[in-house]
Amino acid sequence: MFGPRSKTLLLFGAIIALFVVVGGLLGQYVFGSPLAGLIIAISLSLAINLVTYFLCDRLILWSNHARIVREEELPRLARIVQGLAPRFGLVSPRIALVNSETPNAFATGRDDRHAVVAVTVGLLRLLDDRELTGVVAHELAHVKDRDILVMTFAATLAGAISYAAQMVIFSSLLGGRGRGQSASWLVVLLAAVGAPIAAMLIQLAVSRSRESRADAVGAQTTGDPGALADALQKLAPANARYPMTQGSPASSSLFIVNPYGGSWFASLFSTHPPIQDRIARLRAMGRSPVYTVPIRSPIASGAFPNRSGSR
């Protein structure tokens, strides 16, 4: 009754509801009318949704300094993607390269025909072919379930809620038109502090559930859960030691592991499940008798040879 897709729809609906509520408060304090705020909130929501739907891949690639590359530029990655895509029932997506030594990867696009699998230079150097196959399978699982579109919507709307909440508190401090109405300072405080945190928690719930699902779907499709587990074992400490300095932390939920590091407090709001939990689940899958012979994806050596050597 409440599977992954149903839970995601409920969480996504909660984000939109928060957006409308904060919009109503904004209208009361700025225009003296909650209805005006609701109209503004709904209009902005529709505009954000349309822009995000049609331009999400371009926006994400641009914000992370990624460029689309030809197959001959990255033959090793291209052949892994082309070998795995049919197993997921997908058209082979485009590939992109991020000029960063931080080893990481992400996928974007509204559907498989507009999908892009992007990897960093550091990822291609660090992982061997088997581990890279596990990472690509994880990203293709996101493409198959259209996770990237949902998570981009969630991140964009959550950011809009935070911005609208800030406008509520600034308007109340400056004496907005609704200051003599029934809304109290407690409501303003909840809007300014509670709404952004609630939006963030909802976004994190969407991202965490989909990361775990992508791990499982990718491992089941390749038949080699240990490949992704081994990759995560390398990626976690590498990203902690050498966090990404380019791009926007707002897009951290799109990467296979958090590329921006952070403090202990920031880890409470991490968009990813704990790495060790993910690895443990994959190791447990690998001990199942179902996974005895991993697949061999077509791979060719090319640019950015891995340091561990091809298998």
Q: What is the pLDDT of residues 58-111, one digit of tens each?
A: 888 888 899 999 999 999 999 999 999 999 999 999 999 999 999 999 998 888
Q: Which structural domain range is residue 125 located in? A: 4-286
So what's the pLDDT on residue 82?
96
- Percentage of the chain exceeding pLDDT 90: 35
- pLDDT over threshold 70, residue 11: no
> Residue 107 belongs to what H/E stretch?
strand 105-108
97 in Cβ contact with 231 (< 8 Å): no
Q: Are 24 and 181 a contacting pair, CB within 8 Å?
A: no
Rounded to whole angstroms, the Cα distance separating 10 from 302 reads: 44
The single residue of 71, 72, 131, 139 carrying the catalytic annotation is 139
Q: From residue 206, how far is each of 127, 164, 210, 239, 275 by CA, in Å?
A: 28, 21, 6, 22, 17
Q: 5 in helix, strand or coil?
A: helix
Say if strands 116-120 and 94-98 run parallel, antiparallel, or are unpaired.
Answer: parallel
Q: Is 137 contained in some domain?
A: yes
Of 263 and 31, the one with more pLDDT: 31
Among 1, 132, 159, 30, CA closest to 75: 132
Q: Taking all residues of the chain, what is their mean pLDDT, rounded to a whole number?
A: 77
Q: Angle, nearest 10°, between helix axes 129-144 and 225-241?
A: 100
Is 280 within a domain? yes
More confident residue, 295 or 220: 220
pLDDT of residue 248: 65
CA angle 25, 268, 233 (to 5 degrees): 140
Least-confidence region, from 72-76, 135-139, 236-240? 236-240
CA dist 256 and 127 (Å) reads: 14
Which has more pLDDT, 296 or 161?
Answer: 161
Are 162 and 181 spatial neighbours (Cβ–Cβ below 8 Å)?
Answer: no
139 is catalytic: yes
Assigned domain for 212 exists: yes
- Tokens standing for 196? 């952004």
In whole angstroms, how large is the CA radius of gyration of the chain?
21
Structural domain includes residue 306 = no
pLDDT tops 80 at residue 269? no
pLDDT at 249 over 70: no
Residue 281 in domain: yes
Residue 149 lies in a domain: yes
pLDDT of residue 300: 42
Confidence of residue 28 (pLDDT cuts 50, 70, 90): low
Number of domains in the chain: 1
Q: Does the pLDDT at position 53 exceed 70?
A: yes
Q: Which helix (H) or strand (E) holds 106?
A: strand 105-108
Element (H, E) at 68: strand 66-69
Percent of the chain clearing pLDDT 70 (strictly above):
58
Instruction: Determine phi and psi for 102, rounding to 5 degrees.
Output: -70, 120
In a domain, 141, yes or no: yes
Which one has a higher pLDDT value, 22 or 188? 22
pLDDT at 299 over 60: no
Mean pLDDT of 120-142: 96
Name which of 278, 231, 50, 246 is nearest 152 in CA terms: 50
Q: How confident is the model at residue 298 (pLDDT cuts 50, 70, 90)?
A: very low
Assigned domain for 70 exists: yes
pTM of the full structure: 0.74
